[in-house]
Amino acid sequence: MVGLVAHCSLEGASIESAPMPTKAPARKTSANGAAGATGTTGAPNAREHSVDEIAEKISAAILEHRLAPGTKLGEDRLATIFATSRAKVREVLARLAHEQIVELVPQRGAFVAKPTIEQAQDVFEARRLIEPGVLRRLIRTLDDAKRERLQRHIELEADARRRDDKRAIVRLSGEFHVLLAELAGNSALARSMRELSVLTCLIISLYDAPTATSCRADEHEEIVAAVNRGDAAQAEKLMLHHLDHIEQSLKLDDSAEEVDLESVFS
């Protein structure tokens, strides 16, 4: 994955950015209406988006690093952007908070999550436990249609790299892992991988080292080749190496958070 941090925009409208508090408990909230108690906002002819659609669009914006960690997700702005009510926006934010993608802060609102170093390490540990199982299940159920979808995705990644489309590279890198879980045919695994992929993008935004390099262009290709051969052991080995490469390119050293003021000002 590429560590690319971009300014925040969603469907052409910027969303207010604000620093996150040090610690923000996630909580679900009930909702009331948009501009008034129940109305909707936005252009008169704009199609109102469903909760699933809005959640997917926000997740996609995070996946592409168009929404940075700590970005304030104002209810009114989102209601206007998606031509919907604040009630629906609150439902979306509550769902994303449950997935730890958004943090709801009492009296302050919703913010794109800022995972801690410990949370980042937990995410990579979870991925190391889950993704080898995804590959084993996928290999057991592999057919021509699934091979074709995998190959098509690899071609999309190659095309994005040729065009140097950084947003597409970031998005497709995350979607590759979600696709593996979807093709494995387990909805719970697919849902978990969607959440973990978005969290990984937030982690990369926060902890990408200045000298970090993006994933090698052939890492996903090698995994797919092993899957196509039915070589589960090699596919798992390549996946674990791939995840190690991503994590090792990040600055997840706890000691890095402590600053020696004397040395700074000496």
Q: With left for phi above 0 and alpha for psi between -120 and 50, is residue 83 left, alpha or beta?
A: left
Q: Are residues 153 and 82 in the same domain?
A: no
Residue 139 lies in a domain: yes
pLDDT in tens, 192-207: 999 999 999 899 888 8
Task: Say if CB 79 and CB 40 are below 8 A apart.
Answer: yes
Q: How many domains does the chain have?
A: 2
| Token pair listed for 131 | 């993704």
- In which residue are the tokens 């659609």 written? 53
Same domain, residue pair 82 and 161: no
**What is the per-residue pLDDT for 169?**
87
**Token duo for residue 89:** 């926006």
Does the pLDDT at position 51 exceed 60?
yes
The residues facing 112 across adjacent strands are 102
Q: Cα–Cα distance between 108 and 123 in angstroms, integer?
A: 27
Q: Are residues 85 and 152 in the same domain?
A: no
pLDDT at residue 49, as a whole number? 82
- The verdict on 76 and 153 lying in the same domain is no
| Residue range of the domain that includes 155 | 117-248
Mean pLDDT of 70-94: 94
Under a CB-based contact definition with an 8 Å cutoff, are residues 66 and 10 in contact? yes
- Which two structure tokens, joined as six digits, stand for 192? 């978990």
6 token code pair: 């971009």
211-256: per-residue pLDDT in tens? 454 566 689 999 999 999 999 999 999 999 999 999 988 888 765 4
> Residue 11 and residue 66: Cα distance in Å, rounded?
10
pTM passes above 0.85: no
Look up the CATH number of the domain holding residue 197. 1.20.120.530
pLDDT cut 90: percent of the chain above it: 59
User: Mean pLDDT lowest for which of 20-29, 127-136, 218-227?
Assistant: 20-29
**pLDDT range class, residue 8, cuts 50, 70, 90:** very low
Assess whether 105 and 121 both reside in one domain: no
